[in-house]
Structure 1
Amino acid sequence: MPDPGDWERKKARRKGKATTPAPASTAPAATPITVPAQTAGANPWETAAATLKAQQQTPSPAPTPSAPASRSEPAAPWSTVDEKSSTAALRKLGRGVLWGVVGLAVITGVRSWIIPNDSDAPAPVAPKAAPAYPSDAAQAAAARFARAYLTWDEEDPDARAAALAALLPADSDTDMGWDGRGRQDVLTVQPGAVTATTQGQARVRVDVLIHTTEDEGTPAKGKKKATPAKTADRWIGLDVPVVRTAAGVVVTGSPGMVGLPAHGPKLPDLKTPDTDAAFAQQTEGTVKAFFKAYAGGDTAAVTAPGATIAPVPEGMTLVAVTSWAADAGTGDDRTGAARVMWKVGQAQIEQSYEVELTRVASADAERWQVVDVHGGAA
């Protein structure tokens, strides 16, 4: 048989769905449950159901929260003090400076503060170079002095003294060691290297070609006339001391004669240009015709249009073009080296030339012609 409690619970749920009681605002006091006394002859199932229904409809008493024990709040361990306006301003200023430094570090980079950039460092100041020695003025003064110093004539000693006085400081010795005898002329002077020393002084090398008259020979035994005097031309070297002054360069004292080297310095290793044998053969006739006209004094017919080449001096006769070698290359302008034998007086001498050619084209022909020539081909 079904439990009488199940039947009552189902019945109570149906009634709860139909009517929902409003919640009480306050919890009611606990009501004791009265269980009806079972009378004689009553249905036990109905009595059990009534008891269960009464238990379900009676709400459980809400738990009454226990009031917390009252206790006194402790006093705060600090006291509030009003901040002065100057202190606040200083704090704001400090924050502004701090953020400014942070922004500057972001822009420039912290590394540049620790390791400065080399490009920002000031460039080292180069030492001021001393003014260059006036070599041209020194060479000119030394050349004039060399000519006056090495020229003398015992029949006119005052001429040498006057020439030296114009080049030396006042009150200088214009004899400069000459004993007043003999005769010597200077044919040419060639100033050379200027070697600066100290205190504005320098030494100038001058090469001088002198013409010297030797002593007359004594009369031979049994003869009245002496042998004629001998002359000689030779190059000598002269080192001339000079000094720089506010008014210019002047000779400071007596020079010294020095020897000339027996030969020049050793040449560096020079690259020989490559040659074009086919082009040399093609233009050999052009080059020979040019040198023939070059010696004859009329080059207009064998030179390129617009070119002007002066003829060789008179007294030179063409013997032959001994060689012609064209440099390797391409284009309308080419060069080459020619060796030419000339007759000068009773002698013959071979010389070298650099010849420049250009291609000249017309409506019906094309040919190579000389546009320029230089002595001393490399």
Structure 2
Amino acid sequence: MPLGPRARSILGLPEPGEWEQKKARTRAKRDQKPAPAAAVNPWESAARQLKEQRSASPTATATAAPKPAPEPDPEPAAPWATVDERSGSAFARKFGRGVLWALVALLVLVGLKALLVPKKPAAAPPPATGQTAPAYPTDEAQAVAGRFARAYLSWDEKDPTTRAAGLAAVLPEGSDTAMGWDGKGRQDVLAVEPGAVTPTTQQQARVRVDVLIRPAAEVTTTPPPAKPATPGTPAPPAAPAVHWIGLEIPVVQTAGRVVVTGAPGIVGVPKTGPKAPTLRAPETDAEFSTQTTQTVERFFAAYAGGDTESVTAPGATVPPLPVGVTLVGVTSWSADRGTGSDRSGTARVTYRLAGAQIEQTYRIQLTRVASADAQRWQVAGVHGSTA
């Protein structure tokens, strides 16, 4: 007696034809050619197999039993949904993975560099240096020393207060304003020329000053007794009426000022200067010198006559010479070798001044001025000396 579906379900027995269906499915799977893994969606394949199982079960039951096949249950919907992998979320996941791997690679490189490359020792800080002392106030030291030299070497026994007042202005308070003078005689200072400033120690310096003096003639009622001359001893030369003497004056910087610290010392004045170096003279262009001689002569005649505008190039400004200077003549003119519309040369000129003739040296700049019908050379600049 065949069992019904409910009884087989209670007893756990398979439905008629179920074993044949399983064998058929196994055989179909064995004979079926597997599709490439990249083209198969596992979720879709599982859904298809479930549909096949549900559709094959009623058929097998109908062949095994003569009773009518029960109505198939409605096909249930798949418990999942297919998602298109070409969405923005897939790109975001790939981009995030790329950033993460890049960060990992960077950390690995930094770690390898720290292991393989030795760390450089930190540079030692520069040694602390004291604040650089400001330069010595040379200009102020020269001015103070010049005022002191004028007051120190000027005296008049009839007016001692003038000298004392001049010294008090450049000496520390309470200093002896009669220093170095016995209160007799008279002497005038005609010129003062401050020179080199040599700093020493403790904000002190030594200032060289050259002074042009004119001593007054001594007036005596009785001649001094004649001293017997020592045989072979030459008599000392008489001092000229006007002459230069040198002073070295000590100064110090204090309380924002420079003052004289004490008595100076008289020093000698060199009779000649040092030997000058050998200077290379420019090469002369004899032809151009001859060509422009009259131009230079006309310029110096106007230069001494007070009117240079007519003999200078357009735009050039050359003030005329002072009144009292008379031109004697251009002693020589030599143009330097060169090319172009701007040339230079050296001129020697003789003037008459205060009843005497004196020769002067100039460097002349010439420029070529062109007009509609001609061109000529004119003076564009003039400088004294050959430097």
- Could you tell me the TM-score, scaled by structure 2's length? 0.64
Match of residue 244, structure 1, among 229, 237, 253:
253
Aligned partner letter, 2:384: G
Aligned pair 1:169/2:172, yes or no?
Answer: yes
- Larger-Rg structure: 1
Aligned partner letter, 1:132: A
Alignment-derived partner of residue 149 in structure 2: 146
Aligned pair 1:213/2:216, yes or no?
Answer: yes
Q: Residues 100-152 of structure 1, C-alpha deviation per residue, up to 9 Å, x if partnerless? A: 88623765895553x669xx776676764321000011011111111111110
Moved more, 361-370 or 315-324: 315-324
Q: Residues 299-357 of structure 1, C-alpha deviation per residue, up to 9 Å, x if partnerless? A: 11111112221222222221121111112222222111101111223321111001111
SS of the equivalent of 1:308 reads: coil
Aligned pair 1:233/2:242, yes or no?
Answer: yes
Match of residue 320, structure 1, among 329, 346, 361:
329
Aligned partner letter, 1:309: V
Query: Distance in 1 between the 2:207 and 2:317 partners?
Result: 40
SS of the equivalent of 1:232 reads: coil
SS of the equivalent of 2:340 reads: coil
Alignment-derived partner of residue 307 in structure 2: 298
SS of the equivalent of 1:269 reads: coil
Alignment-derived partner of residue 34 in structure 1: none
Aligned pair 1:345/2:361, yes or no?
Answer: no
Match of residue 281, structure 1, among 280, 283, 290:
290
1:232: how far off?
Answer: 1.2
SS of the equivalent of 1:198 reads: coil
| Alpha-carbon contact 1:214-1:231 (below 8 Å) kept | no
Query: Distance in 2 between the 1:288 and 1:109 partners?
Result: 87
Query: Distance in 2 between the 1:307 and 1:344 partners?
Result: 27
1:269: how far off?
Answer: 3.2
Question: 1:107 and 1:352, CA in 2 relative to 1: closer, same or farther beyond 3 A?
Answer: farther
Aligned pair 1:254/2:263, yes or no?
Answer: yes
Which runs of 5 or more structure 2 residues have no equivalent in the other structure? Answer: 1-104, 224-238
Aligned partner letter, 1:172: S
Query: Distance in 1 between the 2:378 and 2:296 partners?
Result: 8
Superposed, 1:195-206 pairs within 5 Å as 195-206=198-209
Backbone CA RMSD of aligned residues: 2.7
Alignment-derived partner of residue 330 in structure 1: 339
Question: 1:129 and 1:331, CA in 2 relative to 1: closer, same or farther beyond 3 A?
Answer: farther
Query: Distance in 2 between the 1:123 and 1:186 partners?
Result: 55
Aligned pair 1:358/2:361, yes or no?
Answer: no
User: How many residue pairs are counted as aligned between the two chains?
Assistant: 269
Moved more, 251-260 or 267-276: 267-276
Alignment-derived partner of residue 110 in structure 2: 104
Match of residue 137, structure 2, among 131, 134, 138:
134
| Alpha-carbon contact 1:145-1:167 (below 8 Å) kept | yes
Question: 1:124 and 1:167, CA in 2 relative to 1: closer, same or farther beyond 3 A?
Answer: closer
| Alpha-carbon contact 2:142-2:195 (below 8 Å) kept | yes
Query: Distance in 2 between the 1:320 and 1:371 partners?
Result: 20
| Alpha-carbon contact 1:194-1:204 (below 8 Å) kept | yes
Moved more, 301-310 or 263-272: 263-272
1:371: how far off?
Answer: 1.3
Aligned partner letter, 2:241: A
Question: 1:330 and 1:111, CA in 2 relative to 1: closer, same or farther beyond 3 A?
Answer: farther
Question: 1:323 and 1:108, CA in 2 relative to 1: closer, same or farther beyond 3 A?
Answer: farther
Question: 1:108 and 1:217, CA in 2 relative to 1: closer, same or farther beyond 3 A?
Answer: farther
Aligned partner letter, 2:250: P
Moved more, 162-171 or 195-204: 162-171
Match of residue 316, structure 2, among 302, 307, 315:
307
Match of residue 186, structure 2, among 171, 178, 183:
183
SS of the equivalent of 1:158 reads: helix
Query: Distance in 2 between the 1:372 and 1:169 partners?
Result: 50
| Alpha-carbon contact 1:150-1:186 (below 8 Å) kept | yes
Aligned partner letter, 1:246: A
Alignment-derived partner of residue 268 in structure 1: 277
Alignment-derived partner of residue 196 in structure 2: 193
SS of the equivalent of 2:326 reads: strand
